[in-house]
Amino acid sequence: MQKPIFNEDYLSEKPAIEQLVKLGYAYINGDELDPELKEKCERTSRREVVLVSRLRKKLKDINKDVTEQTIQKAVRRVTHIQAEGLIEANQKFHKDLVAGISIDQDTGGKRQKKTIRFIDFETPENNEFLVVNQFWVKGPSETDRPDIVIFVNGIPLVVIECKSPVAKQTGLSKALTQLIRYQNEIPHLFNTNQLLVGLNLFGSKYGSISAEPEQFHEWKDKNGEKFPNMAEHPSIKEMIELGMIKKEDLSDKPTAQEILIAGVLNKKNLLDIIQNFIVYEYDRGKIIKKICRYQQFRAVNKIIKRVTEEDDKRGIVWHWQGSGKSLTMLFAAVKLRREEKKLKNPTIIVVTDRIDLDEQISKTFRNCNFPNPIQIKEKGGTHKKLYELLSHNVGQTILTTVFLFRKELKEPVPSSENIIVMTDEAHRSQYGFYALNMRNALPNASFFAFTGTPLDKRDRNTYRHFSPTGEKYLDAYTIKNAEEDEEIVPVKYASRMVQLQVVGKTLDQLFDELFHDKTSEEKARLKKKYATLETLAKADRRIARIAKDIVEHYTEHIRSNGFKAQIVAPDREGAVMYKNEIDKLIGSERSVVVMTVNNDDSKEWKEKYKLTPAKEKSIKEAFIDPKN
């Protein structure tokens, strides 16, 4: 029997459609929606990307007591978005989609404001979810056919490109490149787009419009769904028959494609992501669309569940550095704001222990157009303003530092059970006097700690203050997770020992001889003050030997491969000491000290080490230039 001929990309596309249908999506083949192939068609031309008849029907279902004229205005708001470019159109539509639009409606001779919703976010099943494959779209000069388009209530919200699973990673990168190309060739399809997905069965990544391929991410959470043995999947069987995949290479583990579809595109999660986990950030005059990563989505929903359903409203979110904790806090604040029925307009406080961190998080909130965040900076008497805001119980979002709790409040805030506190780098500052004042002022508040620093036995106070008994973390995203997700490069360790010893007499003997006239108590104080690890770490001979070892290792193993090196010292004095020793070995032009120089520092330091714009530029150029 002759074997069938397949389009290899279809081996990814077909199981994706099958899984979406199992998730409750309706399915239509793209030919049924192609006016050039079908005489009676929902679309009048390939230029139309919104399924208007379906949108009109759902607008009537979701919005009660609306006139035909109002429906027509709402439809036009989707089909004719006034904007200068794609990202601006996309941002405008996302706001309309999430918040609804207000339309003046004439009824019975009266004019009234009517809020129109395009999606019922509270009840996903009230919406129509439709998956269409091979959907032809005509652009200004090109005509393209994306593999899969997902429509919700007739609006195209997700575009998926599928590639051959045989190609593995190259296929996935081609899918992402093609999604980027579509945005230039058929841009009007992406005016309403919320999510882009690239699939090749064993690989999957999602992202947003305007994102580069490296800014797309995998989704690792399985959403509690059980998957069948992949070897029994009909499409996989076809691949085995064609000799594309060996049966013995398959396991009963789900593919990356299945995990992403189950986690991102099930109805509830898709609407949750659209409503609560998409932000537009302004950066240097550009609008950047950002979508949550799986650990952010997971952590935020755990916080929501704990605040709204559980008695002990505390928890630690331990996410590795660089995993987007500021955005996680932002997403949490956005979703907490929507829990009006359960939380009754809560007050949200984001607390840091450093002014620069406060500025960073405040900037994130402002740049993402979070509604009316109040940043309270540390000035004389501002603690009074903070306590005043907390006592109002009007549902504000406050960004501040723990230092504003320096004054103890005589009486606790009466409505503190409706206050949610999120603290960044909580392990550092949440056990002192200021933190105690904060907890006394807010005895019934919910407290959530965010940190990216490993917590050990010495951090037991963090667990006691922020975790229910017996719980270590509310959510964890470890360095191993970050490495597996290729969000950080793997960190390799090579332990090296510097052999140093005291010649002749021991340290204790030398100490006793030098301080023979001191009492035992005075000697103990001296040892405690000066015999520290920091002092020993900066011993001249130790630094000289380490510098020599670094230079030899760098010259032999690192520089020959075209790489640079960075040395982290215990403090600024240590950095200067290492610089001096390295200069003796390879000359002063081959290394530079990068550190902050203060007004109180010596004239020599100011002249040699102050980081001027010109010096910063030369450092960057040196790191880029392979000859340096």
- For 399-430, how does the pLDDT look when each residue is reduced to its tens digit (9 = 90+)? 887 777 766 666 777 767 788 998 886 444 44
Lowest-pLDDT range, 215-224, 522-531, 564-573? 522-531
Residues belonging to the chain:
628
Q: What mean pLDDT value characterizes the chain?
A: 82
Q: Which is higher by pLDDT, 441 or 8?
A: 441
pLDDT of residue 322: 77
Average pLDDT over residues 334-340: 87
Q: Which residue has the higher pLDDT, 247 or 586?
A: 586
Contact 153, 127 (CB under 8 A): yes
**574-583 pLDDT per residue, tens:** 889 999 999 9
CA atoms of 39 and 154, how far apart (whole Å) = 20
Q: Can you tell me the mean pLDDT for 168-173?
A: 76
- pLDDT greater at residue 239 or residue 205: 205
pLDDT band (50, 70, 90) for residue 394: confident
Distance (Å) of CA 207 to CA 180, 266, 326, 429: 11, 16, 19, 36
Average pLDDT value for residue range 164-193? 90
Q: 400 and 349 in contact (C-beta within 8 Å)?
A: yes
**pLDDT at 431 (0 to 100):** 47
Q: Are 313 and 307 in contact (CB under 8 A)?
A: yes
Which of 6-15, 122-131, 249-258, 276-285 tops mean pLDDT? Answer: 122-131
**Residues whose CB falls within 8 Å of the CB of residue 3, separated by 6 or more in sequence, listed in order:** 241, 242
Query: Using CA atoms, how far apart are residues 70 and 116, in angstroms rounded to an integer?
Result: 9
Longest dimension (CA), the chain: 107
> From residue 83, how far is each of 93, 182, 618 by CA, in Å?
10, 19, 41
Q: Which long-range contacts (CB under 8 A, 24 or more apart) does 619-623 make?
A: 619/592, 619/594, 622/564, 622/592, 623/564
- How many other β-carbons are positioned within 10 Å of the β-carbon of residue 152? 26
Question: Is pLDDT larger for residue 298 or for residue 496?
Answer: 298
Neighbours of 77 (CB within 10 A): 17
pLDDT at 597 > cutoff 70: yes
Q: Is the pLDDT of residue 127 over 60?
A: yes
Give the type of residue at 538: K
pLDDT confidence of 1, banded at 50, 70, 90?
very low
Question: pLDDT tens digits for 280-326?
Answer: 988 878 899 999 999 999 999 999 999 999 888 888 899 987 788 88
Which range among 145-149, 461-465, 618-622 shows the weakest confidence by mean pLDDT? 461-465
| Residue 297 neighbours by CB distance under 10 Å | 22
Alpha helices in 136-246 (DSSP H): 169-185, 234-241
In this prediction, residue 378 has a pLDDT band, given cuts at 50, 70 and 90, of low
Task: Report residue 231 as tokens.
Answer: 């070897």
Phi and psi at 111, nearest 5°, equal -105, 125
Q: How far apart are CA 603 and CA 581, in angstroms?
A: 21
Rounded distance, CA 511 to CA 129, Å? 79
Model confidence at 29, pLDDT cuts 50, 70, 90, reads very high
pLDDT of residue 216: 95
pLDDT of residue 601: 83
Hey, is 284 helix, strand or coil? coil
Q: What are the Cα distances from residue 435, in Å, to 66, 130, 265, 352, 452?
A: 53, 51, 41, 11, 20
Closest CA to 129 of 25, 208, 232, 32: 25
Rounded CA-CA distance 260/257 in Å is 5
Which pLDDT does position 628 carry in this prediction?
A: 54
What is the reported pTM?
0.80
Which of 498 and 87 is assigned the larger pLDDT? 87
- Better-scored residue on pLDDT, 437 or 6: 437
DSSP per residue over 376-440, as a string?
A: ----TTHHHHHHHHHHH-S--EEEEEGGGG-SPPSS--TTGGGEEEEEESHHHHTTSHHHHHHHH
The predicted structure's pLDDT at residue 115: 93
Nearest to 281 by CA among 380, 386, 367: 367
pLDDT digits (tens, 9 = 90+) for 104-121: 988 777 888 899 999 999
The helix (run of H) or strand (run of E) holding residue 199 is strand 195-199
Higher pLDDT, 147 or 363: 147
- How far is 61 from 256, CA to CA, in rounded Å? 36
Confidence (pLDDT) at 288: 92
Confidence (pLDDT) at 88? 95
Q: Helix 540-553 to helix 572-586 angle, to the nearest 10 degrees?
A: 50
**Token pair recorded at residue 457:** 């036995």
**Residue 498 pLDDT > 70:** no
Cα–Cα dist 152/131, whole Å: 9
pLDDT at 180: 97
In this prediction, residue 77 carries a pLDDT of: 96
pLDDT, tens digit (0-9, with 9 covering 90-100), for 454-477? 655 554 555 566 777 778 889 989
Q: Does 2 score more than 50 pLDDT?
A: no
Sign of CA pseudo-dihedral 398, 399, 402, 406? negative
- Distance (Å, whole) CA 574 – CA 556: 25
